[in-house]
Structure 1
Amino acid sequence: MIQGCENPQLDPLARRAPRVFYRTADVATLLEEPGLLALFGFAGHAAPSDDPRYLQVALDSLETPAPLEMWQVDAPVSSGTEGALRWSAGGGWLFAAIELDEREHGGLEAGAALAYARLRQFVGQRPERHVLRVWNYLGAINRGSGDTERYKHFCDGRARGMGAFFAEGFPAATAIGHRGADHRLQVYLLACDRPGSRVENPRQVSAWRYPRQYGRTPPSFARAMALPARDALAISGTAAVVGHASAHEDDLGAQLGETLTNLEALLASAGMATVFDRESPLKTYVRHSADAAQVREFLHRRLPGVPMLLLHGDICRSELLVEIDGWRYV
């Protein structure tokens, strides 16, 4: 359910949600778009840029040609850098990103703690201090077993770096393993000068309440976040998890169906119609690139017309084959 929001109707006084688009164009052209808050390319994209608003994500696109993802706001945008941190802001919205080499900071756990501490310190001194959505991309996410798995080390470090910053509730989030250099850690976020409202899925145990079997530190995220004007829902990485257990091991079709059921339950919990449309872009992370055609056909059949970006990435549980996140606009 939406926490702190009994009526998810549009709030005309709140900030209009950034619009998210997938575009097949060159980086320089899109950086000239008015109100561009952030632009994302993917591994292997031919035209990187040193503009602080541009981030080349360490995930390969399974689309040809590979589209770019852009965030656009209804205001002029300023931008800058602070060491390894890049940022842009406009209209009450903030994009901030950091990329670190784990080897320079004592490994993944220490690197995650440092990345989150720097983001926390930066956002904490900004007017846009309400973190609504976070993305985390790390290498070899499933390497190790039990408490030695890298994802669990990441969760430990993330919690240490957060400190008490999210004492009132966690943001929506995604954590995916990339296939690039193991030591490359990327974290980026969307924040606002007004708070959003957290949304949970009644079919799933809230992530921060997972039992001990999932690590010393449970994952720290909400299933979704209703943005301040109640005009969009930022959806966390969603997979075939029922309660707290993974479902349909090694069955891609069943996992896709379960994931869509979870997405529909999440929309219902947010007070939204349980459908996606042409204005609600989604990203699908696919563990095995050979599965891309099956995933694409399934999604085109079940979600016709919905903008979809397929990326090659490892899900945080080794038995899961696919995960979906994205946006649902009102």
Structure 2
Amino acid sequence: MHRILSVSELAGSRDDPALLGVSWVGRDAPAGFGTTGLPFQHIVAAQLGRGGAGPAEAWFGALAGREGFAHDVHFRCDAHLLFGVITLAEGDCAGDAGATPLQRASQQAYESLFRVLAEEGYPHLWRVWNYLDDINGTTAGLERYRQFNIGRHQAFANADRLQGCTIPAASALGVAGGPLSIAFLAARAPCIPLENPRQLSAYRYPADYGPRSPTFSRAALARLPGQEWLFVSGTASIVGHLTVHHGDPAAQTREIVANLEALLAEASRVSTGPAYRLDALSGRAYVRHPEHLAAVQAELVRALGAEAPIVYVHADVCRADLLVELEAQACHLFV
């Protein structure tokens, strides 16, 4: 279902009827993508260690998919899965006395997403990838990530989706410029949200982190015919609800690995297959300062192995004191 493709492989897969959508990290989109055709999330950020751009991440269904566009959401779906992308410019979502443009944009995006899932018959949201400009900046007296959380939370509340069993795995990162961009994977079958015993559930954070808590689970376990998928949300150097190892990217990365190990143990406990292992993960590592890449990469290579398919991205993490974040996925195939 998930593959990392070179630019040439991506071009060769464009007409594959099972291709559901693509995520691309880079300042510019590859030729022929990003304007028409299949759902395409353009993450306007540099891939570190690859000259600014690199392979794409593609999501495939098991069967030929069909394409649709509704409520500003571009999507493709097959009999089991739906992959969608929505991109909104904050300037097109004017705020009012009680809401900033970003808050309105995030609420509108999620409300549109939920309308598509209801209309198309894929009610279960598994995984969401959120990207917004200047995530740690402050406007209207409130950090922009907190503004985003207010809008997202309101959309979940309006859709009656604030129960723990309906909250998906997710990540939210800051990029320099660009609109609010959200990609998501949904299904006809439910997933199993997972929490980390080393951390307080994000949706139960105290008010210190903003008027509304972040709305995501730490991971999600999802099953398809012959497959089981683990989606690990953006994971950072947080224990309980506190940032640890301030200013030390290597130590923060080691703490991420400890959190990953705890999540994999939780996933293995409820899995129907073999135990999940660190060296079976693929994903994205978000590094706030490019000069920290070597330290972060060394720790992840030590823990996950040199061959682990990790894409390193220059991006801001949701807290200003977090220097690195890792999101990942893994798959079990059953005969």
Pairwise same-fold verdict (TM > 0.5): yes
1:204 is matched with which residue: 199, 205, 219? 199
- Give the superposition deviation at 1:34: 4.5
Q: Which moved more, 1:77-86 or 1:147-156?
A: 77-86
Letter in 2 for 1:128: Y
Mapped contact 1:264–1:274 kept (Cα < 8 A): no
Please give the root-mean-square deviation of Cα atoms over the aligned residues, in Å: 1.8
1:132 is matched with which residue: 101, 104, 126? 126
Measured in 1, the distance between the counterparts of 2:322 and 2:313 equals 15
Measured in 2, the distance between the counterparts of 1:40 and 1:175 equals 15
Q: Which deviations, in whole Å up to 9, do the C-alpha atoms of 1:244-281 show, x marking residues without a partner?
A: 00010111010000000000000101126352235x31
- Give the superposition deviation at 1:317: 0.3
1:195 is matched with which residue: 190, 203, 215? 190
Q: What secondary structure, in the 3-state scheme, does the structure 2 residue paired with 1:270 have? A: helix
Could you say which structure has the higher helix fraction?
A: 2
**Alignment match, 2:310:** 308
After superposition, the Cα gap between the structure-2 partners of 1:167 and 1:211, relative to the gap in structure 1 and judged at 3 Å, is closer
Mapped contact 1:45–1:66 kept (Cα < 8 A): no
**Alignment match, 2:176:** 179
Measured in 2, the distance between the counterparts of 1:76 and 1:46 equals 24
2:25 is matched with which residue: 42, 45, 57? 42
Mapped contact 2:41–2:182 kept (Cα < 8 A): no
**Alignment match, 2:153:** 159
Q: Which deviations, in whole Å up to 9, do the C-alpha atoms of 1:78-135 show, x marking residues without a partner?
A: 1122253200001310011110010111210111111111111111122211101111
After superposition, the Cα gap between the structure-2 partners of 1:147 and 1:172, relative to the gap in structure 1 and judged at 3 Å, is farther
2:64 is matched with which residue: 65, 71, 76? 76
Measured in 2, the distance between the counterparts of 1:83 and 1:284 equals 31
Q: Which deviations, in whole Å up to 9, do the C-alpha atoms of 1:142-183 show, x marking residues without a partner?
A: 0128960000000001112222341333111100001124xx
Letter in 2 for 1:261: A
1:251 is matched with which residue: 217, 236, 248? 248
Which stretches in structure 1 are left out of the alignment for 5+ residues? 1-18
Q: Which moved more, 1:242-251 or 1:40-49?
A: 40-49
Measured in 1, the distance between the counterparts of 2:330 and 2:191 equals 14
- Give the superposition deviation at 1:225: 0.6
After superposition, the Cα gap between the structure-2 partners of 1:274 and 1:228, relative to the gap in structure 1 and judged at 3 Å, is closer
Q: Which moved more, 1:23-32 or 1:298-307?
A: 23-32
Letter in 2 for 1:306: A
Q: Which moved more, 1:117-126 or 1:42-51?
A: 42-51
Measured in 1, the distance between the counterparts of 2:146 and 2:278 equals 32
Q: Which deviations, in whole Å up to 9, do the C-alpha atoms of 1:21-65 show, x marking residues without a partner?
A: 212123432212351111122232432341133222223211425
Measured in 1, the distance between the counterparts of 2:72 and 2:115 equals 13
Q: Which deviations, in whole Å up to 9, do the C-alpha atoms of 1:176-223 show, x marking residues without a partner?
A: 001124xx1011110000101110000000011111100110111100
Mapped contact 1:62–1:292 kept (Cα < 8 A): yes
- Quote the sequence identity (%): 33
1:208-287 alignment, distance < 5 Å: 208-229=203-224, 231-271=228-268, 273=275, 275-278=277-280, 280-287=281-288
Measured in 1, the distance between the counterparts of 2:213 and 2:74 equals 28
Mapped contact 1:265–1:274 kept (Cα < 8 A): no
Measured in 2, the distance between the counterparts of 1:62 and 1:80 equals 33
TM-score, L = length of structure 1: 0.89
Which stretches in structure 2 are left out of the alignment for 5+ residues? 95-100, 270-274
Q: What secondary structure, in the 3-state scheme, does the structure 2 residue paired with 1:297 have? A: helix
After superposition, the Cα gap between the structure-2 partners of 1:146 and 1:317, relative to the gap in structure 1 and judged at 3 Å, is farther
- Count of matched residue pairs: 309
1:23-34 alignment, distance < 5 Å: 23-26=5-8, 27-34=10-17
**2:79 pairs with 1:85:** no
Q: Which moved more, 1:161-170 or 1:318-327?
A: 161-170
Q: Which moved more, 1:267-276 or 1:313-322?
A: 267-276
**Alignment match, 2:42:** 56
